[in-house]
């Protein structure tokens, strides 16, 4: 393991004694051994020097899909983790929406085995119900023992309130975390975009915000009844924010995330009927987008996810109503976020989810494990096809302005810049 010397780096880590200081960082055998204003280099060290270099705790994305097993044409675990590393993420939580669905311990072991010896660490999410069909609970305890960090059915809301209740009660025996996508399918109906003026103007069937909000209200009532821990991913409406804020004030153990595309884009971009912008939950109006940013700033929303979901061209480049929901987002995550949020908030929201999912959060200090993201906040540009590293190219951010640039990561004893 070659020792590494990071030169003249501004540390962004509020918990570190070196926050906002420009320092050199010496890393040996995966451990930060020295932090100082100036550290002499020698031939044994790999030296990292970049323009306006900044370093933070390693970023964690709480929702990525890769495809393997079953959909390797969309993305493999190996390439997906390389994309994550080059995008600045030292860890990702893998959704169970492969084929087969990751709903037992052998599947968990398979994806963990595939992720060995990579710079970015993979943490699997096990399906909450068998085959993510919402009928019977999957082998939650066995998956937890095999390495699953949480349980949820990706983009599939549990319609049966009793299944949701039993899941919340059951996982408390081993301090499990339930992830619940919130959507009332009967209210969604055949809707494909946000219900409102834009959907009417475009002639597209709308999904009322009530479809999300009613399920959030139900699940929060269930959480209050059962106790336990609940994470609500990718919230997208103003009432959802209010409901979660109220639940937190009551002392319920509830956390939530928002997808970057819901923070950066609004429904007006749908006017060209481009299916790259078809996502779940759908893009909302501009007033809601601004409210989501406010909820980030007041900490109602705990973390931000790319909600990275690679899809092949056969399922994405179709008529708008036929296309699958989803966009890739790892490569564009940092650059898109810096256009709407201050740097320290971006870093905080890209690292906060570790605490929610029970993953060690290493402050940048001497004698700690080195898990670092390397970047500059200043560079401005436009996100283009050349920036896409994923096998699938279904990015909603093509043509969008970006700010900042990722240099790479140091993690698991590996430097990738």
Residues recognised as catalytic? 307
C-alpha dihedral (113, 114, 117, 120), degrees to nearest 10: -110
End-to-end CA distance of the chain: 16
Contact assessment for residue 123 and residue 66, using Cβ atoms and an 8 Å cutoff: no
DSSP string, 260-290: HHHHH--GGGGGG--GGG--SSPP--HHHHH
CB atoms closer than 10 angstroms to residue 135: 12
| The pairing of beta strand 303-305 with beta strand 46-48 | unpaired
Distance CA 143, CA 128 (A): 10
DSSP string, 103-118: -SHHHHHHHHHHTTT-
Contact assessment for residue 142 and residue 148, using Cβ atoms and an 8 Å cutoff: no
Place of tokens 């023992």: 145
- Kind plus residue range of the DSSP H or E element containing 347: helix 343-351
Whole-Å CA distances, 402 to 199, 318, 333, 354, 380: 28, 27, 9, 25, 6
Distance CA 351, CA 205 (A): 37
Distance CA 326, CA 270 (A): 14
Distance CA 153, CA 131 (A): 9
SS3 content of the chain, % helix, strand, coil (to 5): 30, 25, 45
The SS3 assignment for 70 reads: coil
- Please write down the HEC assignment for all residues of 135-168: CCECCHHHHHHHCCCEECCCCCCCCCHHHHHHHH
Query: Residues 6 or more apart from 184 whose CB is under 8 A from it?
Result: 157, 159, 210, 211, 212, 214, 215
Phi, psi dihedrals of residue 184, rounded to the nearest 5°: -85, 110
């Amino acid at each position: 393991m070659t020792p590494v010397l990071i030169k003249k780096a501004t540390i962004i880590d509020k918990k570190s004694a070196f926050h906002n200081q420009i320092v050199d960082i010496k890393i040996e055998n995966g451990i930060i051994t020295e932090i100082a204003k100036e550290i002499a280099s020698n031939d044994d060290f790999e030296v990292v020097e970049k323009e306006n270099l900044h370093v933070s705790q390693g970023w964690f994305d709480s929702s990525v899909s890769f495809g393997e097993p079953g959909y390797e044409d969309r993305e493999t675990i190996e390439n997906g983790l390389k994309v994550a590393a080059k995008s600045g993420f030292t860890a990702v939580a893998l959704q169970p929406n492969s084929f087969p669905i990751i709903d037992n311990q052998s599947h968990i072991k398979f994806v963990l085995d595939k992720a060995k010896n990579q710079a970015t660490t993979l943490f699997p999410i096990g399906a909450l119900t068998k085959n993510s069909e919402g009928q019977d609970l999957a082998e939650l305890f066995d998956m937890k023992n095999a390495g699953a960090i949480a349980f949820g059915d990706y983009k599939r809301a549990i319609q049966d309130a009793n299944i949701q209740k039993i899941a919340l009660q059951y996982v408390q025996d081993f301090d499990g975390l339930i992830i619940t996508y919130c959507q009332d399918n009967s209210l969604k109906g055949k809707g494909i975009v946000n219900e409102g003026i834009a959907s009417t103007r475009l002639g597209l069937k709308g999904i009322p915000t009530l479809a999300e909000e009613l399920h959030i209200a139900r699940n929060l009532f269930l959480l209050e009844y059962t106790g336990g821990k609940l994470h609500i991913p990718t919230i997208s409406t103003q009432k959802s924010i209010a409901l979660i804020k109220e639940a937190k004030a009551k002392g319920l153990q509830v956390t939530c995330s928002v997808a970057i595309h819901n923070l950066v884009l609004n429904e007006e971009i749908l006017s060209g009927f481009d299916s790259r912008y078809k996502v779940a939950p759908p893009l909302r109006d501009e007033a809601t987008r601004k409210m989501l940013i406010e909820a980030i700033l007041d900490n109602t929303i705990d973390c931000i996810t790319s909600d990275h979901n690679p899809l092949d061209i056969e399922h994405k480049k179709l008529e708008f109503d036929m296309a699958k929901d989803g966009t890739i987002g790892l490569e564009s995550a940092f650059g898109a976020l810096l256009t709407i949020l201050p740097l320290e908030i971006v870093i905080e929201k890209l690292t906060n989810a570790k605490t929610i999912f029970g993953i060690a959060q290493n402050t940048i200090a001497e004698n700690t494990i080195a898990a670092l993201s390397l970047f500059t906040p200043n560079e401005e540009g436009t996100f283009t096809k050349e920036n896409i590293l994923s096998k699938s190219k279904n990015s909603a951010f093509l043509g969008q302005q970006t700010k900042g640039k990722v240099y790479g990561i140091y993690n698991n004893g590996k430097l990738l810049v």
